[in-house]
Amino acid sequence: MTKHALFITAGEWPARKGLLVSQVYETARALQARGYRVSWFASIPLLSFVKRKILRDRDLAEIEASCRAEGIAFARAIVPVTLGSPYSMPWRRWWHRRLARRACSLLNEVQATSSGTILHARSYYAAEIGLLLRDIASASVDGTVIASFDMRSFLGPEAPMAHGTLGTAAYGFLKSLEFELIRGSDASFLPLNVGRRQYREETGLHIHFAPIQGMEREAGWSVDFNHRWASARIGYSGSVGQWHDPDLLRSIFGLFPNLTPKLAARKIGAFADLDCTLYKPADLGCYYDGLLALVIPGLAEIDGYYHTLQMRCNLFSTKAAEALSRGVPLIVSSELQELADFVRLHRCGLVVDVNQGTPTLPAGLDIDDPNLWRQLTDGAIAIGARFTRQAVLDVYETAWNQALERRSRLGQ
């Protein structure tokens, strides 16, 4: 008998690009290779669904076809509210119960051949659906079922930043919900040690450390440092705006005049004169392999509590994990405390001091010395092994097996 992993997403648009590829679809395929039966339940807001229909977006159809081809059972539900918005809260529990009952069909399909089921939720509202589903399943299906909460970050400031006074009022409620989700889940995961320490000290709750998944290192993979040094490319991956300042990014590029920027990003006005390319997920590995370093800029000026919280304690990005998994050193702002501390500790990059929006390099640093970059690359290769998909799955599996054994022992 095999284990069954049911991924639950809520409010995110299922697509063959972006985070749902690396963190759900590719993870599901990797678990299949380990012998798991895999399913995916996606709750999609009505407005997103209608918008994509009008734009004739094929993302959903493509992900459904890909799941069928890979043998991943996929089910979706359209909800008339935007999950995660403060405006959805009065209807939250009602909709989540309906969604949990809908997702139960995926359990019934495989439960008879399963030695245990993991309900792996990718967001706060998905985690609540998972807890409700676990309660339903415990009364209606055989076998042990556990709820797994993949937090990615402790509660971010998006609600108060996007919804003003209403969002600020909702923030306290959401922090209480966060506590209940962690306490109720059989295993919770967080890639941020600041958040883990906070919860341990304030509540006594244990959260597993699980790095954000980067990219896999294929058999025979190695770093060609001489090629990277000769190419002299410095990179950035992803979008800019809410969490990353394009002007600060350019200022950091300017600290390295002998390196040529090459971005895995859409060409926008701020990047009009830079080399920008949108890469398919399968091609990102080659992009990173050609970089001498990747920049994570953050914001030049941080105003207020919520921006400060996000920058200093809550931002260890997917792009950082991807770069490290391919042995690429990071160049990060001193304002990104969690990431900057990590870079300093593991000597896998450089920390630039950002003072009133102006970045400066550490004193006495010879950035034209190849030995410096070779040492930083060696550090990124060593610590980056922690961020490969297989290494992160090992962390999940260890915690899942412990939770399954614990719940089975209790007869639940």
282: phi then psi, degrees, rounded to nearest 5? -70, -20
92 within 8 A of 127, measured Cβ to Cβ: no
Q: Which amino acid is present at 276?
A: C
Tally the residues of the chain: 412
Cα dihedral: 277, 280, 283, 285 (round 10): 90
Residue 4, beta-bridge partner list: 37, 117
Q: What does the pLDDT read at residue 337?
A: 84
Position 322, amino acid = E
Q: Mean pLDDT across the stretch 36-58?
A: 82
- Predicted confidence at residue 174, as pLDDT, reads 77
What is the spatial distance between Cα 409 and Cα 4, in angstroms, rounded to a whole number? 19
The confidence score (pLDDT) of residue 81 equals 63
Confidence of residue 107 (pLDDT cuts 50, 70, 90): confident
**Sign of the four-CA dihedral 192, 198, 203, 206:** positive
Is the pLDDT at 159 greater than 80? The verdict is no
Choose from 61-75, 118-132, 381-395 the range with maximum mean pLDDT. 381-395
Distance (Å, whole) CA 225 – CA 315: 28
Q: Binning pLDDT at 50, 70 and 90, where does residue 313 land? A: low
Q: Are the folds of 2-213+389-409 and 225-387 the same?
A: yes
Task: Provide the angle, in degrees to the nearest 10, between the axes of the packed helices 304-313 and 158-184.
Answer: 50
What one-letter code names the amino acid at 107? L
> Residue 105's pLDDT band (boundaries 50, 70, 90)?
confident
Query: H-helix or E-strand containing 349?
Result: strand 349-355
Closest CA to 405 of 116, 111, 26, 20: 116
Q: Does the structure show a pLDDT above 60 at 156?
A: no
Domain ranges (residues) in the chain: 2-213+389-409, 225-387
Q: Is the dihedral of CA 178, 184, 189, 193 positive or negative?
A: positive
Name residue, tokens 């306490």: 183
Give yes or no for a contact between 80 and 109, defined as CB atoms under 8 angstroms apart: no
Handedness of CA 349, 353, 357, 360 (dihedral sign): negative
pLDDT at 164: 65
Whether domain 2-213+389-409 has CATH 3.40.50.460: the reply is no
Which residues are CB-neighbours of 222 under 8 A, at least 6 positions away?
none
- Tokens 């030695």 correspond to 115
pLDDT band at 50 (very low <50, low <70, confident <90, very high): confident
Q: DSSP secondary-structure letter at 341?
A: H
Q: Which DSSP string do the residues of 357-405 spell out, in sequence order?
A: TEEEPPTT--TT-HHHHHHHHHHHHHHHGGGSHHHHHHHHHHHHHHHHH
> CA end-to-end span of the chain, whole Å?
19
pLDDT at 185: 96
Which phi-psi region, left, alpha or beta, contains residue 388 (left: φ > 0; alpha: ψ -120 to 50)? beta
When pLDDT is averaged across residues 291-311 and rounded to a whole number, the result is 80
Q: What is the pLDDT of residues 176-230, one digit of tens each?
A: 888 899 999 999 998 888 778 878 888 899 999 999 899 999 999 999 999 999 9
Contact call for residues 346 and 383 (beta carbons, < 8 A): yes
DSSP 3-state percent helix, strand, coil across the chain (nearest 5)? 50, 20, 30
Side-by-side strand order, sheet with 73-79: 73-79, 37-45, 2-10, 114-121, 145-150, 187-190, 208-209
Return the SS3 of 62: helix
Phi-psi region of 220 (alpha: psi -120 to 50; beta: other; left: phi over 0): left
* Residue 79 CB partners (closer than 8 Å, separation 6+): 43, 44, 45, 46, 95, 99
The whole-model pTM stands at: 0.86
Q: What percent of the chain has pLDDT over 70?
A: 86
The topology (CATH level 3) of 225-387 is Rossmann fold (3.40.50)
Mean pLDDT of 356-368: 90
User: b vs e for 380-407, b when ≥16 Cβ sit within 10 Å of the residue's Cβ?
Assistant: bbebbebbbbebbbebbbebbeebbeeb
Nearest to 189 by CA among 146, 231, 228, 238: 146
3-state secondary structure of 260: strand
Q: Would you place residue 98 in the very low, low, confident or very high pLDDT band (cuts 50, 70, 90)?
A: confident
